[in-house]
Amino acid sequence: MPRGRSSFLQRQAAMLAAVLFATLAVAPTWAADTSPPQVVTFCAYNLKNWLHMDRTWGDKPADPKGKPQKEKDKVVAYLKIIKPDILGVCEIGTDTDFADLQKHLSAAGLNYPHTERAHGGDPTRTLGLLSKFPITARNSQTTLTYLIGEQTFPFQRGILDATIQITPDFSFRALGVHLKSMREIPEADQSLMRRNEAHLLRKHIDSILKADPTTKLMAYGDFNEHPKNPPLEETRGSRAVPETSLNDVYLKDVNGEIWTHFWDWEDSYSRLDYIFVNKAFHPHVKARDSFIFADKDFDQASDHRPLVLKISVAGTKGKKT
């Protein structure tokens, strides 16, 4: 073979090997299958303290313990039914707790090789994302702060920010949050704290969508707010600016009920968990197939119910969803 021809083939082989390596490095888990996924299942779930904490009452000595095993088993049982491809969770603890969650899910046949964990000023409760598909970009916000009067407060759980590559042609950016609880604290007004956190979330959303309005963006999690209150209005943004505003994906359970949280102390049912999507993402939402997971024993796993969103990779192509 002529030397020039040999060199050319060697260069071509090297280029092909480099492309193949780069493809395998980010290849989704469906690469071994005959075809990419058409519909992807996303689940948002507040796990209720999958972490180590003092679980004693009254005058008993502090005794930090993990989430009770029977509650863990119930969480996993529900997720095994839902079979999410991507799972966004609230109230996970440390890296050790996150690994414990992965271990329990893996034992149930739910394997998520790609993960992101984020936190804010709260050292106890953090955010987690588990995905069957590659996470190709991460920009979680862990050091955000705001002022109330002259006092500086941290965004307690921060903003989890991860871009998930479903197919070579379809990806979306997931923003996970868990806003300040409704529990009163002496340092500041809890509702005002949530409004400030929602303002920081909105600023982050604006920065993303102003830089690239074609980004498919989802904001999800436990917002600890009722639908018409200012923090959620702040999160949605102005309808006068459709390029940066978000739509509430209005989910119901099998009985047509919309509550996501039960507070046993007050015997109250509330809608506190949400999924919002932007204009570019909206055509990919299969709203009729999405739902709030319902089970009569839901409270044996958590005080929240899981939200389940079905995502069409190809889009709904103008069909009513």
pTM: 0.88
Sign of the dihedral defined by the CA atoms of residues 15, 21, 26, 30, in that order: positive
Number of alpha helices (DSSP H) and beta strands (DSSP E) in the chain: 5, 18
Do 278 and 244 contact (CB within 8 A), yes or no?
A: yes
Among residues of the chain, what percentage have pLDDT more than 70? 86
Q: Which two tokens stand for residue 294?
A: 């319902």
Query: Domains in the chain and their CATH numbers?
Result: 34-312 (3.60.10.10)
**Digit-coded pLDDT (tens) for 20-77:** 333 333 444 444 445 889 999 999 999 999 999 987 766 665 668 899 999 999 999 9
H or E element: which one contains 175?
strand 170-178
* Partners of 261 in beta bridges: 270, 304
Do 205 and 244 contact (CB within 8 A), yes or no?
A: yes
Nearest to 306 by CA among 242, 259, 248, 263: 259
Q: Which pLDDT value is given to residue 44?
A: 98
**Digit-coded pLDDT (tens) for 205-238:** 999 999 999 999 999 999 999 999 999 999 999 9
Q: What does the pLDDT average to over 12-25? A: 38
DSSP string covering 45-85, please? EEEEEES-EE---TTSPP-EE---HHHHHHHHHHHHHH--S
**CB < 8 Å & 24+ apart, contacts of 2-11:** none
- Per-residue H/E/C for 192-244: HHHHHHHHHHHHHHHHHHHHCCCCCEEEEEECCCCCCCHHHHHHHCCCCCCCC
Q: Which pLDDT value is given to residue 315?
A: 85
Nearest to 264 by CA among 227, 302, 222, 291: 302
**Digit-coded pLDDT (tens) for 239-252:** 999 999 999 999 99
**Digit-coded pLDDT (tens) for 117-165:** 999 999 899 999 999 999 999 999 999 999 999 999 999 999 999 999 9
Q: Which 3 state secondary structure label does DSSP give 105?
A: helix
Give dist(CA 41, CA 39) in Å, integer.
7
H or E element: which one contains 178?
strand 170-178
* Partners of 292 in beta bridges: 307
